Amino acid sequence: MHNFLTWVDSLDWFIVIAACLTLGLAPFAPPHIVEKLRMLGEGRLVKPIDWFDLFFHGIPWVLLIIKAGISLKR
């Protein structure tokens, strides 16, 4: 876990934010991550492709949250 946190901390902020704004929000109308989170909240996230989409489009946001947490902890 320590190696993962070190790796996330070493990522450039620009890369993480760019990933959130591109992969994290694509397609842009409506953002895929918003649609999948809404489906999750409504209990309609049942197909494997929907879970994959949530995971795939959510990775940049998770990295952003972890990186921000590491930075705030310092």
Given a contact cutoff of 8 angstroms between Cβ atoms, the answer to whether 56 and 31 are in contact is: no
List, for residues 21-61, the tens digit of each pLDDT value: 998 888 878 888 889 999 999 999 999 999 999 999 999 99
pLDDT band, very low/low/confident/very high, at 63 (cuts 50, 70, 90): very high
Nearest-5° Cα angle at 31, 54 to 13: 80
Domain ranges in the chain? 2-73
Give the model's pLDDT for residue 2.
Answer: 86
Give the model's pLDDT for residue 62.
Answer: 96
Chain centroid, CA 39 distance in Å: 16
The residue type found at 74 is R
Give the model's pLDDT for residue 74.
Answer: 81
| Confidence (pTM) | 0.85
Position 71 pLDDT exceeds 90: yes
